[in-house]
Structure 1
Amino acid sequence: MIEWFTYVQVAVGVAAGVLCLVLGLIGRRPSDLSVGSLALVELLLLAQIVIAIIAPFVGNAPTGSLLEFWVYLISAALVPPAAVLWALLERSRWSTVVLGVAASAVAVMLYRMQVIWSIQIA
């Protein structure tokens, strides 16, 4: 993993999470802004998948469990589409809160992936 890119992803995930939580708690239903923030999180996750495939071939191998890393990454990539599907099926203020929780969960998962990749010794 590229460290600066991971921190950008975490920052975007936290920002999207706070935005969606605030929008949901003030009563806003899912909109282009809230769903779009999760789409940005998902786009960055797809870029992370490409980076994770290429990184070992250019000398940036993980120090932790590769299986654990990939389970985290694939799981994190499935969370935003599931949350957006929920939000589009149940268009209430609470589905916007679910979007915020999903974005926040992805941010935490990304930080854990960085730890597995660069700090944890297998």
Structure 2
Amino acid sequence: MIQVIAGALCGVLALVALAGLVTGRPFGRAVIIVSAAIELVLIVHLVAGVGQLLGTDTVPVVTYLGYLIGVLIVLPAAVMWASVEQSRAGPAVILLASLTVGFLLLRTHDIWALAGV
């Protein structure tokens, strides 16, 4: 459920970034607010994922934790990069980051599902 919420927020962020890319405007407050909301959901996802790991031994721990922690880094890095890039590249970075976070969330789900838990 947490992954669905984060994925939906990533979709919203992708649409906001796409609108900025098409109009040629640098990102605004909406990107920061949605990114912050995604980060909060991802922190909950990390805590829940670690809690789930404690109850199983079939999931590859290092890989799963790598995805859980790595996904937290993508959006803040993209927002920092886009904040100094005032051209169309700024919204493009946010768009790619939102798609990357969505993909990483899908991979965490796949890792868990493939472990047969």
TM-score, length-normalised on structure 2? 0.86
| Partner Cα separation in structure 1 for residue 98 and residue 108 of structure 2 | 15
Match of 1:94 among 80, 89, 98: 89
* Shift in Å, 1:120: 0.8
* Shift in Å, 1:43: 1.5
* Shift in Å, 1:108: 0.9
Match of 1:64 among 59, 79, 83: 59
- Equivalent pairs counted in the alignment come to 116
* Shift in Å, 1:35: 2.2
Contact 2:53 2:59 in 1 (8 A): no
Q: Deviations over 1:45-96 (max 9, x none)?
A: 1111111222244x4x374312111111211110011001101122223201
Written as runs of structure 1 = structure 2, the 5 A alignment for 1:21-100 is 21-57=18-54, 59=55, 61=56, 63-100=58-95
> Aligned residue for 2:10?
13
* Shift in Å, 1:18: 2.3
Amino acid corresponding to residue 55 of structure 1 in structure 2? Q
Q: 1:84 to 1:46 in 2, by over 3 A?
A: same
Name the % identity.
Answer: 27
Q: 1:39 to 1:92 in 2, by over 3 A?
A: farther
> Aligned residue for 2:107?
112
Gaps of 5+ in 2: none
| Partner Cα separation in structure 2 for residue 104 and residue 47 of structure 1 | 20
* RMSD of equivalent CA atoms: 1.8
| Partner Cα separation in structure 1 for residue 67 and residue 57 of structure 2 | 14
| Partner Cα separation in structure 2 for residue 7 and residue 108 of structure 1 | 12
